[in-house]
Amino acid sequence: MKILVVGSGGREHALCWAIRRSPLCSHLLAAPGNPGIGQLAELVPIAAEESDALVRFAQSQHVELVVIGPEAPLVAGLADRLAAVGIRAFGPSADAALLEGSKGFMKDMVAKCGIPSAAYGRFTEAEAAKDFIRAKGAPIVVKTDGLAAGKGVVVATSLDEALAAVDLMMAEKAFGAAGEEIVIEEFLEGEEASFFAIVDGQTALPLAAAQDHKRVGDGDQGPNTGGMGAYSPAPVVTEAVAQKIMDRCILPLVKGMAEQGRPYKGVLFAGVMIKDGEPKLLEYNVRFGDPECQVLMARLDSDIVELMLAACETQLAGHRIAWRPQPALVVVMAAKGYPGAYRKGSVIGGLGGAAAIEGVTIFHAGTKSGEDGRILANGGRVLGITAIGSDLAQAQSRAYRAVDRLDWPDGFCRRDIGWRALRG
């Protein structure tokens, strides 16, 4: 079967790596991909946002399954466009992807379905938003309704900070149209985890849980990023907690979405806050997490293509998903300066030596090929050094041994990925 993966990050490299293991995959294509993906798939120079060109290409090449990695093309309706021409797409329709595309829609669905979550208000007027904030007090969380590449959330510890966030989003329009409506939420305490399920419109099967490290610096200090590292499984998500997340945060939503005529198909990513063993929903994403996908794919033993096809065809019921016994951990290498301004084009050496360490796989995120085949940095998050081990401590030490074999003076990483799971 001919399969096309859409996207160019570490998540998509990990997906390609897992898809290539499937006997169902005869030919793998990636648009636009990256040099790491290029070792596994034929690269097609079409950006993830170019829906028209992607649909035309998939048709002309007789692609039988399109796997859509990032949220933006899903929210824009790429899965619908493909379905309209008879091509299977793994990923939700635009109607269902609104769960990530509009936090207001998501919060209303969560309330309708009785899913435990933070109390909230939706606002299109700054004054009403500010009155709500003054009435509730700090800490409080202010979010843009629309997609803002992970930057549209302010966890405010003071009233002034919360009021300033309203001005930033609504008056200064720092996030453009995404901030025309905002959501204000109660602050939830606890330990955060990423929980993943695969859904076929009716049936949801749990995949696995992971935890990522959003802050740029060691000890979870400094500004938020897309994620500086992750590990799976997540000790905080015990079997009992996982069952509660399925029963309270996943299954009621899948039922509610189907009842609304927006059946959800694809990967459902629930960001949850866990306190005293009780999960509350923070948000849904309509895709795999990045870098969580890297550790999930390192652990997955089942055939991912078989699961994706079953999800597309509402055939998930009865499937069993198998995992390797070893935990996995990924350390993200980023360009110095990230998440602020950074330089592109520096040469990354030592990749071969790093990848030779037992249990280690290197996923490319923001790289490009230079002349003479050298690999150059081409983004903020550049590499995902992923390792499995007999336990998490071994996975961590393997990943950092690989990091230490790299020759990339322009890069950096956190040195404490996994600390929460490894603290005595």
Per-residue DSSP letter, 189:
P
Q: Looking at beta carbons, which pairs linking 316-320 to residues 24 or more positions away fall under 8 Å?
A: 316/198, 316/199, 316/200, 316/203, 316/204, 316/205, 317/200, 317/202, 317/203, 319/205
416 interacts with, out of ligand GLY, ligand AMP, none, CB within 5 to 8 A per kind? none
**Out of 71, 95, 185, 410, which residue is the one contacting ligand AMP (CB under 6 A)?**
185
192 interacts with, out of ligand GLY, ligand AMP, none, CB within 5 to 8 A per kind? ligand AMP
Helix (H, G, I), strand (E, B) or coil at 198: strand
Closer Cβ to ligand GLY, 232 or 285, answer by number: 285
State yes or no: residue 152 binds ligand GLY (CB under 6 A). Answer: no
**Out of 80, 108, 192, 218, which residue is the one contacting ligand AMP (CB under 6 A)?**
192
What's the closest the beta carbon of residue 122 comes to ligand AMP, in angstroms?
A: 14
Cross-strand partners of 33: none
Residues 6+ positions from 60 with CB-CB distance below 8 Å: none
**Out of 74, 163, 188, 250, which residue is the one contacting ligand AMP (CB under 6 A)?**
188
376 interacts with, out of ligand AMP, ligand GLY, none, CB within 5 to 8 A per kind? none
What's the closest the beta carbon of residue 227 comes to ligand GLY, in angstroms?
A: 3
418 interacts with, out of ligand GLY, ligand AMP, none, CB within 5 to 8 A per kind? none
Residues shown for the chain: 424
282 interacts with, out of ligand GLY, ligand AMP, none, CB within 5 to 8 A per kind? ligand AMP
H-state helical runs in 143-235: 159-166
**Out of 69, 146, 201, 227, which residue is the one contacting ligand GLY (CB under 6 A)?**
227
What's the closest the beta carbon of residue 153 comes to ligand AMP, in angstroms?
A: 4
> How many chain residues interact with ligand GLY (CB under 6 A)?
7
176 φ/ψ sector (left φ>0, alpha ψ -120 to 50, else beta): left
**Out of 100, 181, 200, 283, which residue is the one contacting ligand AMP (CB under 6 A)?**
283
What phi, psi does 346 have (nearest 5°)? -70, 150
Residues 6+ positions from 158 with CB-CB distance below 8 Å: 138
Cross-strand partners of 68: 6
CA dist 165 → 162, 174, 350 (Å):
5, 10, 43
What's the closest the beta carbon of residue 183 comes to ligand AMP, in angstroms?
A: 9
Q: Which of residues 104-133 bind ligand AMP (CB under 6 A)?
A: 118
Q: Which of residues 131-160 bind ligand AMP (CB under 6 A)?
A: 141, 143, 153, 155
> Quick one: tokens of 62?
């007789």
Answer whether 210's CB lies under 8 Å from 193's CB: yes
What phi, psi does 269 have (nearest 5°)? -110, 115
**Site track 281-320 with ligand GLY (rule: CB under 6 A), x = hit:** ----x---xx-x----------------------------
Q: Which amino acid is at 271?
A: G
What's the closest the beta carbon of residue 301 comes to ligand AMP, in angstroms?
A: 29
What's the closest the beta carbon of residue 77 comes to ligand AMP, in angstroms?
A: 22
Per-residue DSSP letter, 188:
P
Answer whether 116's CB lies under 8 Å from 249's CB: yes
Task: List residues near ligand GLY by CB under 6 A.
Answer: 212, 226-227, 285, 289-290, 292
Query: What are the residues binding ligand AMP (CB under 6 A)?
Result: 118, 141, 143, 153, 155, 185, 187-188, 192, 271, 282-283
